[in-house]
Amino acid sequence: MMELTSILFWILSAASIVCALMVVISKNPMYSVLWLIGVFFTISGHYVMMNAQFLAVVNIIVYAGAIMVLFLFVIMLINLENIPRPNKNIRMKFMAVVSGGLLLWMFLSAIRTADELKPGQMVEVNTGSIGLIENLGKTLFTQYAIPFEICSVLFLSAMVGAVAIGKKD
């Protein structure tokens, strides 16, 4: 019988795939954005399973929160209902089918040649302190202190630039 973590992994994986397919299949861009939020939540579930709770929370806040709200505003503001859709000719459809077939072939050949894991063999995972914020903080402020400060100055200059552009004279 499968363990609970394996069952949860397969449920989250199936939900991720279904949501990702619905992003592509949905005709309405608003529904596509909502399905994309579902993808981000299921990916955050995978992060939690890998003991990376910080990444899961950041993924939900940044991607599912901020970026998806931005996408929704852009979609609502450009009003895609009034824009006529271009007709796709047979050549574009053929190239799409060929590209999809090649992608499927590469995926299947990668699965077939991945013989490092034998059936029933378990993967060793060191779960010591992978997802802890303490290690991230130590690494950011010791080994990557200068790039971190450069990013801080870059973000500060972007905020000052946005205020300067938006300021009315």
Q: Using CA atoms, how far apart are residues 94 and 56, in angstroms rounded to an integer? A: 39
Among the candidates 20, 53, 81, a domain finishes at 81
Q: Are residues 1 and 77 in the same domain?
A: yes
Domain assignment present for residue 151? The answer is: yes
Domain assignment present for residue 23? The answer is: yes
Residue 38 neighbours by CB distance under 10 Å: 17
Number of domains in the chain: 2
Domain assignment present for residue 99? The answer is: no
pLDDT of residue 117: 59
Q: What is the pLDDT of residues 90-123, one digit of tens each?
A: 888 889 899 999 999 998 887 777 666 566 666 5
Domain assignment present for residue 13? The answer is: yes
Q: What is the pLDDT of residues 137-160, one digit of tens each?
A: 888 888 888 888 988 899 889 888
Among the candidates 62, 81, 100, a domain finishes at 81
pLDDT of residue 16: 95
Domain assignment present for residue 58? The answer is: yes
**Structural domain span for residue 66:** 1-81
Q: Which residues contact 132 (CB under 8 A, 6 or more apart)?
A: 54
Tell me which residue has tokens 């130590």: 138
Q: Are residues 76 and 4 in the same domain?
A: yes
Q: Using CA atoms, how far apart are residues 96 and 149, in angstroms rounded to an integer? A: 44
Question: Confidence class of residue 1 from pLDDT cuts 50, 70 and 90?
Answer: low
Tell me which residue has tokens 């590469």: 106
What is the percent of the chain where pLDDT is above 70?
83
Domain assignment present for residue 69? The answer is: yes
Q: Using CA atoms, how far apart are residues 102 and 96, in angstroms rounded to an integer? A: 10
Exposure class string for 72-101: b at 16+ Cβ within 10 A, else e: eeeeeeeeeeeeeeeeeeeeeeeeeeeeee
Domain assignment present for residue 103? The answer is: no
Domain assignment present for residue 91? The answer is: no
pLDDT greater than 80 at residue 36: yes
Question: Confidence class of residue 83 from pLDDT cuts 50, 70 and 90?
Answer: low
Q: What is the pLDDT of residues 12-31, one digit of tens each?
A: 999 999 999 999 999 888 88
Q: Are residues 76 and 136 in the same domain?
A: no
Are 44 and 60 in contact, with CB atoms under 8 Å apart? yes
Q: Are residues 5 and 66 in the same domain?
A: yes
Among the candidates 46, 81, 116, a domain finishes at 81
At 54, list the tokens: 């910080």
pLDDT greater than 70 at residue 33: yes
Residue 30 sits in a domain whose CATH number is 1.20.120.1200
Residue 37 neighbours by CB distance under 10 Å: 20
Q: What is the pLDDT of residues 117-127, one digit of tens each?
A: 566 666 565 55
